[in-house]
Structure 1
């Protein structure tokens, strides 16, 4: 009985490890895409944020 429980636990941890790696991969992918977007647009994003802040403060 104990061996079966140990195998189930190993299988669960192996499965969980794979899903954690997939989640980290997605997070890293989103960060990379955001960095590329900021790099490609240059100061465009900064200017957009500054305009939005000015609109909010001015309102």
Structure 2
């Protein structure tokens, strides 16, 4: 089985004729965003604290 990056994998769902598989393409893009959303939710407090303390002198 061939391995692709996310943009290349999403491109496989686009047809050159203009007919695209929108359902699977949207599902794959949602699945590719889930790890980023989870990381943001886990480290949200540290990110906000870092931004807040950057402006203090």
Please tell me the TM-score bracket, short chain as reference: 0.3 to 0.5
Q: Greater share of helix residues, 1 or 2?
A: 1
Which structure's relative contact order is higher, taking Cα pairs within 8 Å and 6+ residues apart?
2
Task: Provide the TM-score with structure 1 as the length reference.
Answer: 0.42
> For the pair shown, which has the larger CA radius of gyration, 1 or 2?
1
